[in-house]
Amino acid sequence: MKFKTSSEEETSAFGRFLGEQLQRPLTILLEGDLGAGKSVIARALARGLGVPENIPITSPTFTLMNHYPARIDLYHFDLYRLADAEELIEIGFDDFAHSDGVALVEWPERLADREFDHLLVQIDRLSADCREIAVSAHGIEPQALLGCLQKWLLTQ
Q: Using a pLDDT cut of 70, give the percent of the chain over it.
A: 99
pLDDT digits (tens, 9 = 90+) for 77-109: 888 877 776 777 777 777 777 778 999 999 888
**Residue 38 contacts residue 120 (beta carbons within 8 Å):** no
Residues shown for the chain: 156
Tell me, what CATH number does 66's domain have?
Answer: 3.40.50.300
Q: What domain range includes position 57?
A: 2-155
Q: What is the CA radius of gyration of the chain?
A: 14
Comparing CA positions, the residue from 115, 75, 73 lying closest to residue 97 is 75
Residue 121: band (very low, low, confident or very high) from pLDDT cuts 50, 70, 90: very high
Give the model's pLDDT for residue 51.
96
Give the model's pLDDT for residue 11.
94
**Residue 40 contacts residue 8 (beta carbons within 8 Å):** yes
Comparing CA positions, the residue from 72, 76, 71, 73 lying closest to residue 93 is 76
Q: Number of folded domains in the chain?
A: 1
Q: Distance between CA 78 and CA 57 in Å, rounded? A: 12
Q: Are strands 74-78 and 102-106 parallel, antiparallel or unpaired?
A: parallel
Q: Are strands 65-68 and 118-125 parallel, antiparallel or unpaired?
A: unpaired
Q: Distance between CA 3 and CA 1 in Å, rounded? A: 7
Least confident of 15-29, 50-64, 90-104, 142-156: 90-104
pLDDT at 135 exceeding the cut of 90: yes
Give the model's pLDDT for residue 141.
86
Residue 12: band (very low, low, confident or very high) from pLDDT cuts 50, 70, 90: very high
- Averaged pLDDT for residues 41-55: 95
List 32's β-bridge partners, or say none. 123
Q: Does the reported pTM lie above 0.85?
A: yes
Backbone angles phi, psi at 86, to 5 degrees: -60, -35
